[in-house]
């Protein structure tokens, strides 16, 4: 099976702009989660989507939003970019059939966003 | 804050077993132990996970102590490509995935 794919891989934006990142999960996976990784804060959970509905949300401002389509593909949007939004944005997918600790998440390669 | 403690760095000779320890003394009964690794800021790669019993797959073995307060990831024959940051995580749900600083493993020729 193909792994999780993310596009684009690299992105440069300026403050105030908005950005949309895309994630295609592993075939058959219905849960997609987004994470932000920075050297200072480590990996932080943004939100999780399952069956086109946001099921969990981390502690990020409303500028960070997402959605999931009927084919389980997901997009994440960040509006009014700030310098501190520069990070590696990771998408991870899982089956989503059980919301338990035994369900493994598989990560994509990430999108590296640089905000100037 | 991460619920695990790992040494910041370790070295291992190529071809030898790499044993990476992890302390999770506050683990609760329904939390699983997961191991991921990350190479050159790529996406984290899943390695193995377990609840109580020791586990083995094609990549590694996971040894969990009987009281579940610590675990060890074993890479049986380390290669140069195993050089990476290894993360030990304990979690219940998907929103519980918190990576600490991890262990930077360097495999040397």
* DSSP 8-state code for residue A96: -
Min Cα separation A41/chain B (Å): 9
| Cβ distance of A101 and B93 shorter than 8 Å | yes
| Cβ distance of A56 and B100 shorter than 8 Å | no
**CA–CA distance, A52 with A49 (Å, rounded to integer):** 6
Q: Does B11 contact chain A (CB < 8 Å)?
A: no
Q: Does B63 contact chain A (CB < 8 Å)?
A: no
Which of B32, B98, B99 comes nearest A101 by C-beta?
A: B32
Residue A85 main-chain phi, psi, to 5 deg: -85, -5
Chain B residue with minimum CA distance to A49: B94
Contact B90, B27 (CB under 8 A): yes
Lowest mean pLDDT among A15-24, A30-39, B64-73, B89-98: B89-98
Contact A29, A72 (CB under 8 A): yes
pLDDT digits (tens, 9 = 90+) for A21-78: 999 999 999 999 999 999 888 889 999 999 999 988 999 999 999 999 999 999 999 9
pLDDT digits (tens, 9 = 90+) for A66-115: 999 999 999 999 999 999 999 999 999 998 876 567 788 999 999 999 99
Query: Is the pLDDT reported for residue B91 higher than 90?
Result: no
Chain B residue with minimum CA distance to A34: B95
| Cβ distance of B98 and A43 shorter than 8 Å | yes
């Amino acid at each position: 099976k193909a792994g999780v794919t993310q596009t684009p891989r690299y992105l440069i934006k300026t403050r105030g702009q908005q950005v949309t990142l895309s994630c295609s999960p592993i075939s058959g996976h219905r849960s997609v989660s987004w994470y932000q990784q920075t050297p200072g804060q480590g990996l932080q959970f943004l939100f999780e989507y399952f069956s086109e509905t946001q099921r969990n949300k981390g502690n990020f401002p409303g500028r960070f939003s997402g959605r999931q389509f009927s084919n389980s593909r997901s997009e994440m949007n960040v509006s009014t970019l700030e310098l501190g939004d520069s990070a590696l944005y990771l998408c991870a997918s899982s089956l989503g059939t059980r919301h338990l600790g035994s369900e493994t998440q598989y990560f994509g390669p990430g999108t590296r966003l640089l905000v100037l | 804050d991460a619920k695990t403690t790992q040494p910041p760095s370790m070295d291992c000779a190529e071809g030898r077993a790499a044993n990476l320890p992890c302390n999770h003394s506050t683990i609760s009964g329904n939390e699983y132990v997961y191991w991921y690794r990350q190479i050159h800021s790529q996406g984290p790669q899943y390695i193995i996970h377990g609840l109580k019993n020791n586990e083995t797959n094609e990549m590694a073995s996971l040894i969990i102590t009987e009281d579940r307060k610590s675990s060890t990831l074993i890479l049986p024959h380390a290669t140069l490509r195993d050089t990476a940051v290894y993360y030990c995580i304990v979690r219940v749900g998907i929103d519980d995935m918190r990576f600490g600083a991890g262990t930077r493993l360097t495999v040397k020729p």
